[in-house]
Structure 1
Amino acid sequence: MSISHRISIRWLPSPASEPHSVLVLTSPARRYVDIRLTLSPSGELEGLYWGFAGQSFYPTPNSGRWEHFIDSRSDEPGSDEGSLEVLENGDVLEKGKMVDFEEPDKGEKEYEEVWRDEVLEKDERVAIVMETEGGRVVRVGGWVQGVLKDKEGFNAERWKDGKRIWGMGKELASDEIWEKEKELVVGDEVEKRGLVWRVVERAVW
């Protein structure tokens, strides 16, 4: 379970920077939603750069693999993987190869990403995952993120402390996962704008 903010990305040999707001919410069963938003010069959230959801795996303590089941950039999602190193300050350095969408013709490039996890207070330790065909919403602590890919396009949203702070396309089930936190159990179904969302995971610790 984690709330992971990306601190920087570096496309070797260029210096590190952070042009996006990148947040990954991962449930105890390692179901995740990863939303990457472009930042304006003043730091405001703008359009979607990349959004995807899937399952994470850690074959060893120093390596990770992230399967994509839903992906804003592909109708045939794959996976990405990298090596992991915990830095002295507790941040995690991820290294690997992937396509830089700013220069897609160059194929995969070496990258380095630095990630930092939020520390949850005791009263924030809740995780809920809801799914529908082509969609997933994940809540961890005070954050909720959701993605949905359907015949009309890609939809995504990000919530913080009960408020929708960014969204594109249809409203998903983020309000339901927030407002009905205490009553939702695995197997419950909620209808939202013609879609049925099912609770597939819930954890409180």
Structure 2
Amino acid sequence: MVVQLSYRKSLRWVPGEPSEPTSTLVLDVGDFFVDLRILKATGDIDWAMAGKRTILSSSPRKCPPHRPRPLRPQRIIKSANFVPVKCQWTKEICSQNTEAHDDIGEFEDLPNGDALEKGSMPNPDNNDEIQAYEEVWGNLDIGSSDEPAWILRSKDGKGVTFVAKVGDWFQVLSKKQDGQFSVLREEKVKGEWVQRYAVGEKLPSIRELGEEVFSPKGWRQDTDVKVDGVTYAVYALEKA
């Protein structure tokens, strides 16, 4: 099963130059993903979502992370020399309120191991005009560890919260019933957990609560666990 840390290197609106206005990190574990994109300039949420990833094409087997802003059906730009990877993302929570619409992306591998995505979609900086885009995605090294990667989903009835840990990265996405969205990203640096981004209300933090509170010892996939008094379903639990 898939365990990976993916980050977006660049977004290019054709025929413009590539840039990366966000800090985008996607935690993939098994069939599920937790995707957080923060605007570098303001620290605000650009886009945040979590849910299930499905591989629609069987070769190559690796499925890149989420694609950007799925506001309307896209036209995929294809090369005659390759068969693209096709993946589908079903969102349980989304900061842009597009849970009702699944997203589909097609990708090709680059020689350096990155993934290139091509297609067309509304450009929010161009009055939502449909425009061709290119994205480049890379992977972060997870490193070897006896600790599995995991994704939890809350079952407290007040809304939905996803909590995920892969390697030295920890992300939490939460959406209340009234639509309020909160996010948290933390990274382990030289043995200490550091907060990278936090938007909205206070969320469960591995930096504050400690790794022992989030220890997956005894967890089993598709069962419920208690973490700091909150009941979660173990959505994904995989050896990194």
Following superposition of structure 1 onto structure 2, how do residues 11-26 of structure 1 map, counting pairs within 5 Å?
11-26=13-28
CA distance, structure 2, for counterparts of residue 157 and residue 117 of structure 1: 20
The worse-fitting range, judged by mean Cα deviation, of 143-152 and 116-125 is 116-125
The alignment partner of 2:43 has SS state of: strand
Give 1 or 2: higher strand fraction: 1
Q: Which residue of 2 aligns with 1:183?
A: 217
Which of the pair has more CA radius of gyration? 2
In structure 2, stretches of 5+ residues that fail to align are 60-84
Q: Of the candidates 175, 186, 196, which is equivalent to residue 149 of structure 1?
A: 175
The question of 1:159 aligning with 2:190 is answered no
Query: Given the two structures, how large is their TM-score scaled by the length of structure 1?
Result: 0.84
The question of 1:115 aligning with 2:137 is answered yes
In structure 1, stretches of 5+ residues that fail to align are none
> Which AA in structure 1 matches 2:195?
R
The alignment partner of 1:102 has SS state of: helix
CA distance, structure 2, for counterparts of residue 14 and residue 118 of structure 1: 27
The question of 1:197 aligning with 2:232 is answered yes
Superposed CA offset, 1:10-69 (max 9, x none): 122222111111111100x221011111113xxxx7111111111112211322222222
Report sequence identity in percent.
Answer: 29
The alignment partner of 1:122 has SS state of: coil
Provide the aligned length of Structure 1 versus Structure 2.
Answer: 198
In structure 2, the CA distance between the partners of 1:169 and 1:73, relative to structure 1 (3 Å rule), is same
CA contact (8 A) 1:53 1:68 kept: yes
Following superposition of structure 1 onto structure 2, how do residues 90-101 of structure 1 map, counting pairs within 5 Å?
90-101=113-124
Q: Which residue of 2 aligns with 1:126?
A: 148
Q: Which residue of 1 aligns with 2:112?
A: 89
Superposed CA offset, 1:147-170 (max 9, x none): 111135001111111332211123
Query: Given the two structures, how large is their TM-score scaled by the length of structure 2?
Result: 0.73
